Amino acid sequence: MEGLLGTTWPVFVGLTVILFGGAAFLTGQAVAGTWRPWWQTVPYAFLLGIGDRFLTYALFHGELLSPTGYLVHSLVLLAIASFAYRITRAHRLVKQYPWLYERSGLLSWRARGG
């Protein structure tokens, strides 16, 4: 598992999931909050992946140029950012257009029946 991640499991959870995952969550909220399309979370997630790989290398002596580690970390961050994007988009649509939409779950909305 360490070869795939480019670091140890606790460093992956602490740095990628908790620290950079929080940044990815806020990134997804910011992109959705400004009504930008979903695909704009992709470059931001991969930029966060670069920062994550650097801090893994600098603080925990992880492998800096690990292509699989970078890809796995960036995809995890993209998943977190996408999740936040969808939650925020659903909330904003229902809040801003209550006569048109209603919540149908955590990540979705539907047109009001009528």
pTM here is 0.91
Domain ranges of the chain: 2-111
Question: pLDDT tens digit string along 57-114?
Answer: 999 988 888 899 999 999 999 999 999 999 999 999 999 999 999 999 889 999 988 5
SS3 content of the chain, % helix, strand, coil (to 5): 70, 5, 25
Helix (H, G, I), strand (E, B) or coil at 71: helix
% of the chain surpassing 90 pLDDT:
81
The pLDDT value recorded for residue 114 is 55
